[in-house]
Structure 1
Amino acid sequence: MIHPAITQSAHTLRQRMSGAEGRLWYLLRRKQLDGFRFRRQQPIGSYIVDFVCLKERLVIELDGGSHTETQGYDEVRTAWLEAKGFRVLRFWNNDVLENQEAVIDGILEVLEH
């Protein structure tokens, strides 16, 4: 069971998405990406992931400049998710904003293989 505080945090994060998160969500929502269904700001265990395709067990994380300061935390989190059977893709916010076609191609490549 997911702790209610994590569920509330996920709800708040969905309401306050960054520009890059909003842009990627626009491209992923409503099964627009080859019919794959994504969720945003989804609790998994004690973590909240930016985007996840549960059927394909693919987590997509967007990193801004502040993530350089939390690299150790991100590594632990990624290792935990991978131990639970998830694949984790990370993109920089500016990649989504400036080169969204390459980001979508990278996601599709992982989903289709």
Structure 2
Amino acid sequence: MKEFSREVRSHSTLSEVLFWQKLRASQFRGYACNRQKPLADFIVDFYCKRLPLVIEIDGVSYFHAEGY
């Protein structure tokens, strides 16, 4: 799952890239966030462990013939 999350991270959508630029630039009010984080059987777009908060930007785009 970890290797797949790295692959997904390298093929981010425009919306994920733009959101990450804003999130990283403002440091999310002092909270650290992870991008393309494996959680159980899923890879979430953004995750903040301290809050705990999951942000999914484009989940629908992963529902296609390849099945991921």
Q: State the TM-score bracket (shorter-chain normalisation).
A: 0.7 to 0.9
What percentage of residue pairs aligned between the two structures are identical?
34
For 2:27 and 2:20, the matched residues in 1 are separated by: 10
Gaps of 5+ in 2: 64-68
* TM norm structure 1: 0.49
Match of 1:13 in 2: 8
Cα RMSD after superposing both structures: 2.0
2:35 aligned to which of 11, 18, 40? 40
The number of residue pairs the alignment matches comes to 62
Structure showing greater Rg: 1
Larger helix proportion of the pair: 1
Structure 1 runs (4+) greater than 3 angstroms displaced: none
- Please show how residues 1-113 of structure 1 align to structure 2 within 5 Å: 6-29=1-24, 32-63=27-58, 67=60, 70=63
* TM norm structure 2: 0.79
Q: Which has the higher contact order (CA 8 A, sep 6+)?
A: 2
For 1:35 and 1:13, the matched residues in 2 are separated by: 26
